[in-house]
Amino acid sequence: MHGQMNNTNAGRPRSLWVLTDGKAGDEANCLGVAEAIGVEPEIRRVNPGKPWVWLMPHGPIDPKDHEDKPGSPIAKPWPDMVIASGRRAVAYLRRIKLRSGGETFTVFLKDPRVGTACADFIWAPEHDGLRGANVMATLTAPHRISAAKLDAARAAPDSRIPPFMKPKIAVILGGSSGRYELTRKDVDTLGTALKEHAAQGAFLMVTPSRRTPQRIVDDLRRHLDGLPRFFWDGAGDNPYLHFLAQADALIVTADSHNMLSEAAATGTGIYLLEPDGDPGKFAHFHNRLEEMGALRRFTGNIVPFRSTPIDATPGIAEAVLKAYTGQRKPHAGV
């Protein structure tokens, strides 16, 4: 599915917190749902100290963060809704759920690892296998790359991307993970293929992530030296949205559920760059995208193709609102 929710305010929370430990991927998931709901969120970040952080996600929370303490990330008044994600946020969300006495509707994104009773609504990736009466599972993750933002980026393209050069090939780099190790061999294979396509007129757009090792960034930069390219180095505005909007082909590393979910929302064909390792539960995710025509395995040849955009975010937001309004009906004035 790929669409926007109705913009009326009926049934929407008047106040909403996004609660994480500040990890970019977790916060982006939460903000994506909040934006799709249509409420400007207040960003709250938890930072439990020792030994409390060692007990996460089970808790209890750090005593300095009790809701009546100055500077607490969960200081009252309670909001209508909290959307949380990340291991360190679980205990804090559970405390809000308990202490607010049902005043706050609690949402957790991803598997909280403490059972499904810790929140009123839980979203989890399909490949995690978490199920329950209050659990929604989808193939792709929620994110902030909406159809409206992509359309706006296409209507007002980044001036650093030459409009006349085709095809435009975007490379979205992750990094090593518990399952994959991005190596010099991977960079050599990628760099060789990109050089060949650039020689045929392609324009290259490359963005590393926070997790991309600097040696990998340096190696790929050397491969592409002198070629027509936009290799983002952190200077100036982040071109990530424009890369997604303008690309004729996307090459994305296999390690990130979020990055692949964002890429799938564009409808631009994805080439999966899979480093050595064991995909584990990600294999289901990759295989399903391939079955749906959104993904092909990267072997060196890059032929632009299109697919039906896959974006779970509006559906997740709609399900959250349905659960929220269902719970709030007994309360007067809501």
Which long-range contacts does 117-120 make (Cβ < 8 Å, 24+ apart)? 118/90, 118/93, 118/94, 119/84, 119/93, 119/94, 120/323, 120/324, 120/327
Q: What is the pLDDT of residues 132-165, one digit of tens each?
A: 999 999 999 999 999 999 999 999 999 999 999 9
Give the helix/strand (H/E) hosting 11: none
pTM (global) more than 0.85: yes
Domains of the chain, with CATH numbers?
Answer: 16-144+313-328 (3.40.50), 147-297 (3.40.50.2000)
Residues of the chain with pLDDT under 70: 1-10, 328-334
What is the reported pLDDT for 2?
44
Q: What is the pLDDT of residues 77-124, one digit of tens each?
A: 999 999 999 999 999 999 999 999 989 999 999 999 999 999 999 999
Residue-by-residue DSSP string for 151-187: HHHHHS--TTS-TT--SEEEEE-----SSEE--HHHH
How far apart are alpha carbons 307 and 198 in whole angstroms? 24
